[in-house]
Amino acid sequence: MSEPVAEHAGGTGAASENVEYRVAHLRDRLAAEELGELGVRAEVRAGSVVVTGTVPSAECRETLLRTVREELAGLAVHTDVVVAETASPDHAEDLP
């Protein structure tokens, strides 16, 4: 799923370094807060930021997306964050 956070802040040099700095700050924040143990990655690809990973609940996903929006406002951000299915099966599996 791709969720643009805002307009693309393209460019090179200082603008590119600023993006790297902001992504590093996002990583630090995710590690320090309640999302610290999640398998989430944030990296710069082709001028935008890509956030990928798996979270245990929809609530965690919303918290993650809110944090990404706060830290990376003004940048093009694409997210592919999946909610893991952790519920017990509601029926037995039929094997052929």
Average pLDDT, the chain: 80
In the chain, the amino acid numbered 58 is A
DSSP class of 88? P
pLDDT digits (tens, 9 = 90+) for 46-70: 889 999 998 888 898 999 999 999 9
Looking at residue 37, its pLDDT comes to 58
* Digit-coded pLDDT (tens) for 14-25: 566 799 999 999
Strand-pair category, 77-83 with 39-45: unpaired
The predicted pLDDT at position 68 comes to: 94
